[in-house]
Chain A
Amino acid sequence: MKLIEYEKIGEKVYHHVLDNKLNIYVLPKRGFNKYFAFFATNYGGCDRRFALGGKWVDTPAGVAHFLEHKMFDTEEGNALMQLSLNGASPNAYTSTGITAYHFECADNFYDNLRILLSFVSIPYFTPESVEKEQGIIAQEILMGEDNPTRAVYQNLLRALYAHNPVRDPIAGTVESIAEITADTLYDCHKVFYNPSNMVLCVAGDLDAQKVIDTAREIIVQEAGELPQRDYGEPETLYPNKKKYEVNMEVAAPLFRMGSKFEQPDNGEEYFRFLLLGNLACAVLAGTSSPLYARMYAKGLINNRFGAGFSYVPGGMYACAVGESREPLQVMDEITAEADRISREGVDVQLFERLKKASIGNYLRDFDDMENITAYLADGHFKGYDPMKGLDYYDKISIDEIQRFISDAFNPERLAISIVWPNEADN
């Protein structure tokens, strides 16, 4: 067990790797009554084509999410219920890159931890239960298709990417999930839920050794091979399609515009780039930027407008999102301001102020155990230390911010997704 101390932020983390390669991170939170456990596999909606022992396998869209639904079934019943009855609040989610199972509780932490580790590591599916779930998930997918916020999000990814599986929804389609069988689920569980591909992160006023001992007792699987993944042919820096428009039941048009970036291979560089990109988006279009004030005053945007920088497996993208009667005019305003900044430079005071705000927000996140355990897991999978954020902020230069804005909001590189109101509503 290794102890890492972070003096600047007054935190420490215990890190241990079990013989079967399961990585465990324990963040002691002295004085807290709550405990939080986060158990995740490096397996998300985009991990559809992978190689084991050099052999490539293709799976239908939606398997990771389907597995997440089914993992709660145990031979004895349902782990969700079991945890709830034991005083915990459990939940799970599947993103493009990971599947995570977590719970929060104030009592019986180690009992709950045993339940969590056990149900996630022991698959239990029957053809009947898989078929039943197909109906449930199909309903979920159909409901999602009516959701304009989801559509505007998914359509931007389709506009940006030509090959990346992020083009398809994480849950898959009604057709793709119909191809899933109990065997598909067992196979994917075996590949991706092996201890080498997973991480356990816990936070709370607890004893790190006891957490490690509990994990060693429950996770008896052997280390496995780390699957190689394929996210499709390399993407260019230009969008697949400049504009993606649909009509749906919305009061005002929704828009989401964005541009692609390459993902740095090195984890540390990735993390620094992520912080840099978000800071740059705040400089360009955050609530204290002149651009935001101008667009707000013109009635082009409302307080749901925002800009940020995100990750997808195999890539990264910057985006600006909101609700506006004139989404294309918003795009013109943004590209004009980005152009001005690329010529005239970034306002130094604005940059310094936003750096302060980013530092404050970064620090405040440490009070939220759910956030911090998720960051630890992400850092583990990508190879960076999320506890060292302050060091990276020191290394971000104003020139890099200028360059980022100029690249990200260059009209050549931008794509836009718009959900217009239905004709009848106009």
Chain B
Amino acid sequence: MDAIRKQIMPNVELTCITTDKFKASYFSVYLLQQLNRENASLNALIPNVLRRGCAKYPDMESMAAALNDLYGAAIEPVVRLAGEIQCTGFISNFVDDKYIPGETSLLERVIGLVGDVLLAPVTKGGNLLDDYVASEKEKQCEKIRANLNDKITYSLLRLREIMFKDEDLGVNVLGSVQSTEKITPSALTKHYKSILEGSEIQMFYCGSATPERVEAAVLEAFKILPRREIADEAATQVRISCGEPNYHVEMLDVTQGKLSLGFRLGEIMRSPELAAITVFNAVYGGGISSKLFLNVRERLSLCYYTSSMIDRHKGVMYVISGIDFNKYDEALGEILTQLEAVKRGEISPEELDGAKKVVSSSLKAALDSAASMDAFYLGQAVDGLDYGLEEYAALTEKVTKEEVEKIARSVCLDTVYFLRNKQEVPQI
């Protein structure tokens, strides 16, 4: 299942995985833009407005009919981050035409429709339609506000806003309610035209068709894609050092405290080894065989949940946990103590082995999911890396205890964020 990546138009790359193990085929297209305060809301809104109707199928009913006719194909807007690169576009799922007797061009027709939706929107007076823009703006604001409902998501978002207050990653992937509300149809249309011609584009396909067939279908569907020189290539700025840790407490009407920590991976980000970073994360806090889970949660019962996660592009690690309000000091202390233990190399062979098993299982599961492979290969493309998911899995098997220690020693604490209730005075 090797991936084949090829530049098929100026600044347009297509990654293909050819496999006949799935009945559904998968195709995605992303426009890559720098995440920033100015444009995040605009970028995020575009695929949602485009999905409402294209010149050929200008409303929901005709669009739904066209998708039904393509054997229930789905074309959904997507907005995601790869570090500080905001990737917006569409993900399409459709049945492999080899299972439909007499059908030989479903792939071409679905990719054709994705092209129509992205490139040929329904317009009035040259602009995207007022009521589509207005209702999608409302939905986007609703989604941003809903971040407050799930306190786990909220505390991680707030940690990022604080930690990256003067970096791009401090911006929410959907931007803000204020910037969304300000969007006008003409400004959105102008921005849409500009990013369409000026973005690097990544496409991904997984299914039984040969890369040649997919490429031909894409070239046909995207033949009117405008292209110009890319002025500023989107990129992620990595900060190596932390300085003094920044402590931040916020009070809301919550029943459980949320303690979130932001670390930078430090010196090792000068030449990052993804496999070793992944295993380090599993040893320290990723999954139920990790030090955080087994010690902070199970042995000491200091939290309801705790885990760590890595942003490989930005070179940062987050630890999230749910705690009782009065356990702040103990929990914070123990989370850091466990990191010290990894630094000192206090990693038993069982721990290292367990961590590698967790990593290996999740990578194997990713190979069974087109969506997971899409996310992985988008990350690889953004980082300019060539190796595939299977090779990545093989690399993690070889990671040594020394490599894990080395990463732990490079990590530094940047920001501590604590979300607590309003009643009691914080004991910090």
Chain A contact residues, CB within 8 Å of chain B: 8-10, 29-34, 84-85, 87, 104-107, 286-290, 292-293, 296, 350, 353-354, 356-361, 363-364, 366-367
Q: What residues of A have a CB within 8 angstroms of the CB of B336 in the complex? A: none
Assembly CA distance A360 to B22 (angstroms):
13
Assembly CA distance A107 to B393 (angstroms):
14
Interface string of B370-410 (1 = CB under 8 A from A): 00000000000000000000000000000000000000000
Assembly CA distance A30 to B1 (angstroms):
13
25 contacts across the A-B interface (CB closer than 8 A): A8-B101, A10-B23, A29-B21, A33-B365, A33-B367, A85-B289, A105-B361, A107-B364, A287-B61, A288-B65, A288-B67, A353-B68, A356-B70, A357-B71, A358-B72, A359-B100, A360-B70, A360-B73, A361-B72, A363-B24, A363-B95, A364-B93, A366-B23, A367-B22, A367-B24
Q: Are A107 and B68 in contact (CB under 8 A)?
A: no
Q: What residues of B have a CB within 8 angstroms of the CB of A359 in the complex? A: 71-72, 95, 100
Q: Are B69 and A356 in contact (CB under 8 A)?
A: yes
Counting from the closest, the 5 A-B pairs by CB-CB distance are A360-B71, A357-B72, A288-B64, A360-B72, A106-B364
Q: Are A107 and B361 in contact (CB under 8 A)?
A: yes
Known: A32-B21, A287-B64. A363 touches B361 (CB 8 A): no
Q: Are B364 and A10 in contact (CB under 8 A)?
A: no
Assembly CA distance A357 to B71 (angstroms):
4
* B242 part of interface (Cβ distance < 8 Å): no
A28 to chain B, nearest CB (A): 11
Q: What residues of B have a CB within 8 angstroms of the CB of A293 in the complex? A: 59-61
A/B pair count, beta carbons within 8 Å: 97
Assembly CA distance A307 to B320 (angstroms):
39
- Considering only residues 180-228 of chain B, those with a C-beta below 8 Å from chain A are none
Q: Are A367 and B23 in contact (CB under 8 A)?
A: yes
Q: Are B60 and A30 in contact (CB under 8 A)?
A: no
Assembly CA distance A84 to B361 (angstroms):
12
User: In the complex, which of the residues B71, B95, B288, B360 contacts A107, with contact meaning CB atoms closer than 8 Å?
Assistant: B360
Q: Are A31 and B65 in contact (CB under 8 A)?
A: no
User: In the complex, which of the residues B61, B68, B365, B368 contacts A357, with contact meaning CB atoms closer than 8 Å?
Assistant: B68
Most chain B CB neighbours (cut-off 10 Å) among A29, A289, A292, A293: A293
Q: Are A107 and B61 in contact (CB under 8 A)?
A: no
Q: Are B288 and A106 in contact (CB under 8 A)?
A: no
Number of interface residues of B (CB under 8 A): 36
Q: What residues of A have a CB within 8 angstroms of the CB of B22 in the complex? A: 367
Assembly CA distance A309 to B101 (angstroms):
28
Assembly CA distance A287 to B19 (angstroms):
32
Q: What residues of A have a CB within 8 angstroms of the CB of B94 in the complex? A: 360, 364
Given contacts A357-B68, A360-B70, 17 further A-B contacts (CB under 8 A): A29-B21, A34-B364, A87-B358, A106-B362, A106-B364, A106-B365, A107-B361, A296-B60, A353-B65, A356-B68, A356-B70, A356-B72, A360-B100, A363-B23, A364-B93, A364-B95, A366-B23
Q: What residues of A have a CB within 8 angstroms of the CB of B99 in the complex? A: 8-10, 363
Q: Are A360 and B95 in contact (CB under 8 A)?
A: yes
User: In the complex, which of the residues A10, A30, A354, A364 contacts B24, with contact meaning CB atoms closer than 8 Å?
Assistant: A364
Q: What residues of B have a CB within 8 angstroms of the CB of A85 in the complex? A: 288-289
Name the residue on B nearest A361 (C-beta).
B72
* B151 part of interface (Cβ distance < 8 Å): no
Q: What residues of B have a CB within 8 angstroms of the CB of A30 in the complex? A: 21
Name the residue on B nearest A104 (C-beta).
B365
* B357 part of interface (Cβ distance < 8 Å): yes
Interface string of B1-41 (1 = CB under 8 A from A): 00000000000000000011111100000000000000000
Q: What residues of B have a CB within 8 angstroms of the CB of A106 in the complex? A: 360-362, 364-365
B149 to chain A, nearest CB (A): 12
User: In the complex, which of the residues B20, B71, B288, B357 contacts A356, with contact meaning CB atoms closer than 8 Å?
Assistant: B71
Name the residue on A nearest B62 (C-beta).
A288
A139 to chain B, nearest CB (A): 14
A319 to chain B, nearest CB (A): 20
Q: What residues of A have a CB within 8 angstroms of the CB of B362 in the complex? A: 106
Known: A106-B365, A364-B95. A288 touches B357 (CB 8 A): no
Q: Are B365 and A34 in contact (CB under 8 A)?
A: yes
Name the residue on A nearest B65 (C-beta).
A288
Assembly CA distance A359 to B70 (angstroms):
10
Assembly CA distance A287 to B358 (angstroms):
41
User: In the complex, which of the residues A34, A87, A296, A364 contacts B368, with contact meaning CB atoms closer than 8 Å?
Assistant: A34
Most chain A CB neighbours (cut-off 10 Å) among B23, B357, B367: B23
Q: Are A354 and B23 in contact (CB under 8 A)?
A: no
Q: Are B23 and A364 in contact (CB under 8 A)?
A: yes
User: In the complex, which of the residues A107, A286, A287, A290 contacts B357, with contact meaning CB atoms closer than 8 Å?
Assistant: A107
Assembly CA distance A359 to B94 (angstroms):
11
- Considering only residues 46-99 of chain B, those with a C-beta below 8 Å from chain A are 59-61, 64-65, 67-73, 93-96, 99
B56 to chain A, nearest CB (A): 15
Q: What residues of B have a CB within 8 angstroms of the CB of A104 in the complex? A: 365
Name the residue on B nearest A288 (C-beta).
B64
Assembly CA distance A203 to B13 (angstroms):
35
Assembly CA distance A107 to B68 (angstroms):
38
- Considering only residues 316-369 of chain B, those with a C-beta below 8 Å from chain A are 357-358, 360-362, 364-365, 367-368
Assembly CA distance A295 to B40 (angstroms):
33
Assembly CA distance A33 to B288 (angstroms):
21
- Considering only residues 262-298 of chain B, those with a C-beta below 8 Å from chain A are 288-289
Name the residue on B nearest A8 (C-beta).
B99
Name the residue on B nearest A353 (C-beta).
B68
Assembly CA distance A31 to B22 (angstroms):
9
Known: A293-B59, A363-B95, A367-B24. A353 touches B69 (CB 8 A): yes
Assembly CA distance A290 to B64 (angstroms):
11
Known: A356-B69, A357-B68. A31 touches B357 (CB 8 A): no
Assembly CA distance A366 to B61 (angstroms):
28
Q: What residues of A have a CB within 8 angstroms of the CB of B71 in the complex? A: 356-357, 359-360, 363
Q: Are B21 and A357 in contact (CB under 8 A)?
A: no
User: In the complex, which of the residues B61, B93, B96, B367 contacts A288, with contact meaning CB atoms closer than 8 Å?
Assistant: B61
Q: What residues of B have a CB within 8 angstroms of the CB of A358 in the complex? A: 72
Assembly CA distance A353 to B21 (angstroms):
27
A62 to chain B, nearest CB (A): 26
Assembly CA distance A353 to B57 (angstroms):
15
Q: What residues of B have a CB within 8 angstroms of the CB of A289 in the complex? A: 61
User: In the complex, which of the residues B19, B69, B93, B361 contacts A31, with contact meaning CB atoms closer than 8 Å?
Assistant: B19
Q: Are B364 and A364 in contact (CB under 8 A)?
A: no
Q: What residues of A have a CB within 8 angstroms of the CB of B24 in the complex? A: 363-364, 367
Name the residue on B nearest A88 (C-beta).
B361
A111 to chain B, nearest CB (A): 12
User: In the complex, which of the residues B68, B73, B101 contacts A354, with contact meaning CB atoms closer than 8 Å?
Assistant: B68
Name the residue on B nearest A204 (C-beta).
B368
Assembly CA distance A8 to B102 (angstroms):
12
Known: A31-B19, A87-B358, A359-B100. A290 touches B72 (CB 8 A): no
Q: Are A84 and B288 in contact (CB under 8 A)?
A: yes
Assembly CA distance A353 to B67 (angstroms):
9
Q: What residues of A have a CB within 8 angstroms of the CB of B65 in the complex? A: 288, 350, 353
Q: What residues of A have a CB within 8 angstroms of the CB of B95 in the complex? A: 359-360, 363-364
Assembly CA distance A36 to B95 (angstroms):
22
Q: Are A33 and B368 in contact (CB under 8 A)?
A: yes
Name the residue on B nearest A286 (C-beta).
B64
User: In the complex, which of the residues A8, A31, A290, A292 contacts B21, with contact meaning CB atoms closer than 8 Å?
Assistant: A31
Most chain B CB neighbours (cut-off 10 Å) among A8, A9, A34, A360: A360
Name the residue on B nearest A34 (C-beta).
B368
A311 to chain B, nearest CB (A): 22
Q: What residues of B have a CB within 8 angstroms of the CB of A367 in the complex? A: 22-24
Assembly CA distance A107 to B96 (angstroms):
29
Assembly CA distance A34 to B360 (angstroms):
12
Assembly CA distance A47 to B362 (angstroms):
38
